[in-house]
Amino acid sequence: MFKITTLFWDIGGVVLTNGWDRGSRREAATVFHLDWEEFQDRHELTFPAFDSGHITLDEYLDRTLFYRTRTFTREEFTAFMFAQSKEFPQSRAILKQVAQSGRYFIGAINNEPLELNQYRIEAFDLRRDFLCSSARVTCALGSRKS
């Protein structure tokens, strides 16, 4: 029999809501009065490069929104993007309990752009539970989890 020493958790959809999913983007289109089809098309063309660390958040925003004048600022839109992240209290409580046991190396395996991952780690104090996050590795390598 073997002993389990390492646990991997997904952040989006498990510990927190998905960071920048279709529902969040549709809400952004409503709030910021965007043409949904145009925004979604530009997102689909740009997101793989953003998600894998080939482009930054600013480059993503340039390609999807700020290629023309808008009635809102980059900072307002970024704040909206980040505000879509919410914690799942029950999952977080289980994660906290497992982390505090000290019995496991706990890592996060997730697909999310580096800037979003950094925000979520800081805003939700994920460092207290996770010893590493795959987003830093996948963005550094320029790859995505499949």
- The tens digit of pLDDT for each residue in 63-85 reads 999 999 999 999 999 999 999 99
Alpha helices by DSSP H, the chain: 22-31, 36-51, 57-64, 74-83, 89-101, 114-123, 134-141
pLDDT at 139 over 50: no
Residue 138 has pLDDT above 60, yes or no: no
Class of domain 1-146: mainly alpha
The pTM of the full predicted model, rounded to 2 decimals, is 0.84
Q: How far is CA 62 from the centre of its chain?
A: 18
User: Residue 43: how many CA atoms within 13 Å on its side-chain side?
Assistant: 16
Share of the chain above pLDDT 90, in %: 62
Q: What is the mean pLDDT of residues 39-53?
A: 94
